[in-house]
Amino acid sequence: MVWLVGTFNSYHVYDADGTARFLYTEVNLQVDRVIRQPATSALVAGSTIDIALYGGTIRTKDGAVHSYELSPSKYAFEPNHQYILALYAEPNGIFRVYKQWDVTAGTVQTSSIVDEEHVKTRKSQLVGLPVADAVRFIQDALSSQSPSN
């Protein structure tokens, strides 16, 4: 698992099967800060990584618009937003999202239904924290886990 702070810079939608029926989106994310990574990883601030998301919308050469696996999502990634992310590293160099929090406003925002419930029950440990405090909290929590986590 890789933990980092990153900014969504751009994206590209790909047609995985050549029929415009199976689309996926690669989000290009600038790494702003590495919080924790495995010893086998070499991410550094300023590098760019790709995050794979299922679904997307494309226009084919004939002008037709095709969408796959899209539904409005209150907490979907947004261009030019900054996030704290926990990512799975895939063997092909692409990452998948495990957890995300939008920190564009400088504080951790509610970024999932789980966060909403934690805020309601006053059990949230991250929502509302300034980014630096949230990063410290995550580092402390991760340091108490074994290296295999």
**CATH code of the domain containing 90:** 2.40.50
User: What is the number of domains present in the chain?
Assistant: 1
Question: pTM to 2 decimals?
Answer: 0.86
Task: Specify if 90 maps to a domain.
Answer: yes
Domain that holds residue 67: 2-105
Q: Is the pLDDT confidence value at 149 over 70?
A: no
Would you say residue 125 lies in a domain?
no
The first and second tokens of residue 137, run together, are 């909290």
Give the Cα separation of 27 and 77 in Å (integer): 9
Query: Is residue 124 domain-resident?
Result: no
User: For residue 4, what pLDDT band results from cuts at 50, 70 and 90?
Assistant: very high
Asked whether residue 82 is domain-assigned, the answer is yes
Q: Which residue has the tokens 């990574």?
A: 37
Beta strands (DSSP E) in the chain are 2-15, 23-36, 48-54, 56-59, 65-68, 82-89, 94-102
The gap from C-alpha 118 to its chain's centroid, in whole angstroms, comes to 20
Contact 87, 2 (CB under 8 A): yes
CA atoms within 13 Å, Cβ hemisphere of 95: 25
Over 80: is that where the pLDDT of 126 sits? Answer: yes
User: Does residue 81 lie in a domain region?
Assistant: yes
